[in-house]
Structure 1
Amino acid sequence: MEYVGFWWRFLARFIDYIVVSVGSCLLFLPIAFGLGMASASGGDTAGAAGIQIIGQLVMNFLQLVIWAGYYTWMTGKYSATLGKLALGFKVVNADGTKPSYLRSLGRFAADYLLSGLILGIVVFVLLMLVMALGFGGFRSLMESNEEAFAGGIAFGVIASLFVGFLLGSFPWWMAAFDPEKRALHDRICATRVVRK
């Protein structure tokens, strides 16, 4: 089996992201329009805010269902998503066979939910650390120069988000250093991405 490296997999994921995002936008546009109309007709009340919050939660849940359905169905049926198909890759089990729908769903969950949770925790911890240290370290700047204080905090937040993203992305970066080019979700589900 010829394993596919990190950057090719990244390109396949980017293609999938565009495909699913465009499809989701087409689906959600009428829903968002309807929620906006319902919210606007409610005026500036707590009911209008409640409609917006519930609508956003429903759309976030539907987005997760769309992503899960896309990755599970495409990987279970074709052994690849559209991005992987376009680049000539496929997902296989350790023995080279096509993954089942259940394994494809597990692979999606390990990829998006577990890896996303790890990324979120790392970014959040770094952001909180920078904000806690930054606010304390920039207090004297605030007293003398508010613009310098705001610039320092903005730089700290941007730097923590960038470094947090790099560190928190290790479940995906694993593919760059693994001999079989496996990311964390591949290791959990015993799958590999190979060239056809």
Structure 2
Amino acid sequence: MQWYYVLNGERVGPVSQEQFDQLVQAGTITGETLVWHAGMTEWLSWTQTAARIAAESDSAVCAVSGRLYPKREMLEYQGRWVSAEHKDEFFQRIREGVQHHTAMPGEVRYAGFWIRFAAVIIDMMCLWAINMVFSVGFMFVMMALGGLASASGRGGMTPVVVILQLSLYVVQIAVALAYDVFFIRKYDATPGKLALGLKILRADGDKLSVGRIIGRNFAKGVSALILCIGYIMAGWDDQKRALHDIMCDTRVVRK
């Protein structure tokens, strides 16, 4: 079987089954990596593909090595398949509690509501600090204009104040967009998500384009408009998606 996979946004392949197994074992192909082979109707993550292989064939993916083995040579434990040669390592991990902290190969760990909420708080604090600089600057401009109006004996500052306030609002929107675009394009995450070990990707594992980042930023406004239910949805969705993730085909995952 010839396999293809996505690495850094580019398609790689074809590679043989043996080469593919080696890439999985080396960690080059992870649970989030998009893969495809002849017969598949769409690109899927390795996690999804492995689950389909296990359900539709007599083979399964070892939870330790990530390689395919015949099920007759494997042991199933709580929905995981383990090859005979990795059985001891698997149960040693369980005894040490590793399964509660570290994902086995082939797993995609979606970020839940509370850790995403914490990341949003961090980002809000960062944006508040940046916007305060502009707010103070606009305040000094308004004070200076007010002083000039008083010195000249003129009134009628209201239109100027309105224009300055609208300008400040536009600047704050631009700052929020630039913040998201810069960090997500460069690091796949905003500072809040970076601090908590999260990243934002397309559903297919690819990076977000500038247009999608901007669209997602405005889509977050929709999530907030409906009493923030759009955000809370991440608490019960099977892939921990908020409404803006569904609208923009994005996922927030743990690194």
TM-score, normalised relative to structure 1: 0.70
One-letter identity of the residue aligned with 1:187: I
User: Quick check: 69-78 or 179-188, which moved more?
Assistant: 69-78
Note the C-alpha offset of 1:96: 1.5
CA contact (8 A) 1:110 1:185 kept: yes
Structure 1 residue ranges, 4+ long, deviating more than 2 angstroms after superposition: 39-47
Aligned-partner SS, 1:32? helix
Decide whether the 8 Å contact of 2:223 with 2:242 is kept in 1. Answer: no
Residues 1:46 and 1:5: Cα distance change in structure 2 (over 3 Å): farther
2:182 is aligned with 1:73? yes
Residue 90 of structure 1 contacts residue 195 of structure 1 at CA under 8 Å; is this kept in 2? yes
- Number of residue pairs aligned between Structure 1 and Structure 2: 146
Higher RCO, 1 vs 2 (CA within 8 Å, ≥6 residues apart)? 1
Q: Deviations over 1:118-163 (max 9, x none)?
A: 24xxxxxxxxxxxxxxxxxxxxxxxxxxxxxxxxxxxxxxxxxxxx
Is residue 177 from structure 1 mapped to residue 239 from structure 2 by the alignment? Answer: no
Residue in structure 2 matching 1:57, options 141, 147, 166: 166
Listed as ranges, the gaps of 5+ residues in structure 2 are 1-107
| Higher strand residue share | 2
Larger Rg, first or second structure (1 or 2): 2
Deviation at 1:180, TM superposition (A): 0.5
The residue that corresponds to 2:247 in the other structure is 188
User: How far off its partner does 1:36 sit?
Assistant: 2.3
1:47 partner SS: coil
Higher helix share: 1
The amino acid across from 1:13 in the alignment is: V
CA distance in 2, matches of 1:5, 1:99: 20
**Cα 1:184–1:46 shift into 2, 3 Å:** farther
- The answer as to whether partners of 1:39 and 1:52 remain within 8 angstroms in 2 is no
> What corresponds to 1:30 in structure 2?
137
Match of 1:115 in 2: 223
Match of 1:105 among 205, 210, 214: 214
TM-score, length basis structure 2: 0.54
Q: Distance in 2 between matches of 1:179 and 1:36?
A: 53
Q: CA RMSD in A?
A: 1.7
Q: For 2:139, give the aligned amino acid.
A: A
Q: What stretches of structure 1 of length at least 5 have no aligned partner?
A: 120-167
Q: Distance in 2 between matches of 1:106 and 1:75?
A: 13
